[in-house]
Amino acid sequence: MPITELDQRLTGQIVLSNRTYERLRALTALGTRFPGTPGERAAQRFILDELRAAGLDPTIEEFEHLAWERGSASLSVTAPVTRKLLCISLAGAPSTPAGGIDGEILYLGNGTPAEFDRHKDAIRDRIVLVTSLAPRQECSPPRQCHRRTKYGRAVQYGAKAFLFMNSQPGMLPQAGSTRQNREGEIPAVTIPFEDGEVLKSLLKAGPVSVHLEATNRNYPHTTGNIVAELPGTDPDHVVLVGAHYDSHDNAVGAIDNGTGVVTVLELARLLSESGVRLRRTIRFVLFAVEEMASVGSSFYVNRHRDHLDQIDLFMNIDGIGQQGAKTFDTQGFDDAADFILDVAKDIDYEMTIPNPAFSGDSLAFVMGGVPTAAMKGSKLRSLFGHQNLSTGEDRGWGHTSADTFDKVEQHALHEAAIIAALTLIRAADHPTRMARTRTKAEVDAILRETGMDTVLSFMQWPSIDVRPKE
Ligand SMILES: [Zn+2]
């Protein structure tokens, strides 16, 4: 279908009301939304209130997971000079033994598979230092150079501790998790670019020793995914649109993923208030605990394992604050890709399908065999004429304390909301099933062909069962 009256109405409302942007201002004012913090509870209330105001009847699907609380962390160079560095623990990392640990640094560059392989035999009992960068040429799929894969390799090769250096300047440690729903095996801290550069400079002259102390606490915690539905005329078929609402504890997560939360809330409000009834039921899901390795989405997939074939498409919206055009990553599902390209043609918007990234909450659904389209930045023609400047090899402000409201551009949010709305309408109203649920064997083939099987084994992911039944 070409542009319809409904498309025009929603697009106009998104831009003219500027509501997504103003709701993001309010959401980020609540502070961090890390699991177990008051901000997490406040965000849940915020989301419930918004969905109710939109005329929907949200519920919380609770689950218990292993939460994590940061204690103190300190890192000092002990030789050849003595000097303190800035650090914070990575989420899920254990405490060091009392009195801390001492060790020699081994710098493995960007921690690509090749770099780990080259130094495999030197890793045992060393403290491994890697950057946060995932260079495109050397990391296929990009998850080969995800922090958790680097951590998994360091653990597997016998490292004593893991230092994760931000590849971007600004004295900002880049937070992140170590494992899914269980404690990491070795202590892990993240340090700013500048302090990583200090270590790299010292290493040029010879061995560098450090002392690391960290105290952290893992504890069971109950939270939940927030779910609301807009019924379709065919209640057996669902399009699920989701965004995670948690952030790291050092961040208000404006881009990651305040942008996704307010976009999904805006879609819920606009479609509910429009009064239209599309074919499929639209299920809005705001996921908890994504930042601890997609825990909330994994519990969602696990809980609904017997009904995953009702979900004709999962549309994930995460970290869309960057300038410029949007597209969707369909994670190796060719029929989902065809659908997205049809939408692009329909709305006269350029989209090409990127290589599968298997990032964030998408992965749990892909592993469950559910066709997935995850919104991503693209270099093509943007609605508002802005260029996407990100290389995609690093997180930018993401996972740092600088991921704040001021970093999000109104027009970037508007563009994302418009493209999400027009795509969602077409997914919900598509006359036939646009993509089919995959079997376990088909999912395995996708994982094997893309190299994700290796990644998952290093990550030891998933800890929560998200595989389709045979
Ligand atoms: Zn995110």
Residue 470 predicted with pLDDT over 80: no
Angle CA 96–99–102, to nearest 5: 70
The average pLDDT across 19-35 equals 98
Q: How far is the CA of 365 from the centre of ligand 1 (A)?
A: 15
Q: How far is the CA of 217 from the centre of ligand 1 (A)?
A: 23
Model confidence over 354-366: pLDDT tens digits? 999 999 999 999 9
Q: How far is the CA of 296 from the centre of ligand 1 (A)?
A: 12
Q: How far is the CA of 244 from the centre of ligand 1 (A)?
A: 7
pLDDT at 323: 82
Model confidence over 377-433: pLDDT tens digits? 999 989 988 888 888 888 899 999 999 999 999 999 999 999 999 999 999 999 999
Q: What is the CATH number of domain 68-219?
A: 3.50.30.30
Q: How far is the CA of 73 from the centre of ligand 1 (A)?
A: 25
The CATH homologous superfamily of the domain defined by 5-66+221-459: Zn peptidases (3.40.630.10)
pLDDT at 346: 95
Q: How far is the CA of 392 from the centre of ligand 1 (A)?
A: 14
Residue 468 predicted with pLDDT over 90: no
Q: How far is the CA of 273 from the centre of ligand 1 (A)?
A: 28
3-state secondary structure at position 355: coil
- Say how far apart CA 322 and CA 399 lie, in whole Å: 14
Q: How far is the CA of 210 from the centre of ligand 1 (A)?
A: 32
The average pLDDT across 333-354 equals 97
- CA distances to 20, 204, 395 from 254, rounded to whole Å, are 12, 38, 13
Q: What percent of the chain has pLDDT over 70?
A: 100
Calculate the CA dihedral of residues 24, 26, 287, 251 and round it to 10 degrees: 80
Residue 321 predicted with pLDDT over 80: no
Q: How far is the CA of 18 from the centre of ligand 1 (A)?
A: 22
Helical H segments across 54-146, by residue range: 113-118
The average pLDDT across 255-280 equals 97
Please indicate whether residue 185 or residue 381 has the higher confidence score (pLDDT).
185
Give the residue extent of every domain in the chain.
5-66+221-459, 68-219
Q: How far is the CA of 359 from the centre of ligand 1 (A)?
A: 9
Q: How far is the CA of 297 from the centre of ligand 1 (A)?
A: 12
Q: How far is the CA of 256 from the centre of ligand 1 (A)?
A: 5
State the pTM of this model: 0.97
Q: How far is the CA of 257 from the centre of ligand 1 (A)?
A: 5
Instruction: Write out the two tokens for 395.
Output: 């997180």
Residue 361, phi then psi, degrees to nearest 5: -70, -15
